[in-house]
Chain A
Amino acid sequence: MNYQAIRAAVEGPLLTAFNNLSPAVPVYFDNITATPPNTTTEYVRVNVTFGITNEPTLTSSVDNARGAVVIRIFTEKGRGPARNQTLLNTAVNVLETLNNSTKSTSGVYFKVGEINGPTFSATEEAPHFVGRIETSYVATVLS
């Protein structure tokens, strides 16, 4: 099982999409320190988790995994939801594009399920307004 390839299949396109924005928005993945607390700088957190690996009934391939992708968008608090939703659009577009890919003979075939959210939250102390979406995925390692 190539967990790194599965992770890269979703992290790569998200990183590219947010880097291509003007100005670029930093994206932080699992086990990477994000912007220090108490700054209002906007940023994106992407967490990829793994659930079941090699579920026999999933596909004929034994190299498959299921899991979740959670994307949190942190934007400045007190300025309305517009900016946050604009960045959420970027994330959702990437996830939808992943589903348009066709199965080839090598690499990782990655499909996401329904997207849950966005849900929004903000706390008194934290400087950010947070938008959160989550989805399931099924990935098959083909090579």
Chain B
Amino acid sequence: MARNRKLLNELDRLGENLDRIAVAAFSRGPARAAEEIVVDLQEAGPVWSGKFSNSWEISTSDGRRTAGTGAPGLPRRIPAPLLSGRGFAFDENKYVISNFSSYADVARDLVESNYIDPGTDPIKEYERGTRVSGYRGDLIGDDEGPNRSTAPLDWYTTYLRGGQIDRRIKVELDAELGRIRL
């Protein structure tokens, strides 16, 4: 009888440990994915002065937030805030990634704008062309023309809709689950 109770207690403890490990893995996985998504966006997007690339922010559904400095310079990595237990358990949208730069929509090719070449070279490699419409990346020309762009047109939509973001989330969740040692 006593032996059976001991066995049941050990099984209970094992169950609790499994729960804790699983919650930790599932909580760290999305955080890692959010961090890597920002890195992907920084790599895929335009980088002229670096202000836009350093203006990404990651916030959780329970109000925690980390953000870039918004300052010029090479794009810097942002650590993602960890979710609270409540946020992990109940909130459907656990992380929100956004960009707080004033010209975020222009940089993402979502709206038109006017452009003035600052005359300095951008941080990232660029292509030349002639801008067709008011969209940032809407250049045409075989790397010749008066306008410059450091990211292709619709880079943001392509990342979101072309499957890369799904793959990034899967890779990070798989990696986190792979770290579990029972």
Contacts and interface: CB of A to CB of B under 8 A. Distances in A.
B112 A126 contact: yes
Interface string B100-140: 00000000001111100000000000000001111100101
Interface residues of B, number: 24
A32 B113 CA distance: 21
A78 interface: no
Given A33-B132, A33-B140, A123 B114 contact: yes
A55 B163 contact: yes
Given A52-B167, A68-B157, A132-B110, A126 B162 contact: no
B162 A136 contact: yes
A126 B111 CA distance: 11
26 contacts: A37-B131, A37-B133, A45-B132, A47-B154, A50-B162, A51-B158, A51-B162, A51-B164, A52-B163, A55-B163, A68-B157, A68-B161, A68-B162, A70-B154, A113-B161, A119-B110, A119-B111, A121-B112, A123-B111, A123-B112, A125-B134, A130-B133, A130-B134, A132-B110, A134-B157, A136-B162
Interface of B: 110-114, 131-135, 138, 140, 152-154, 157-164, 167
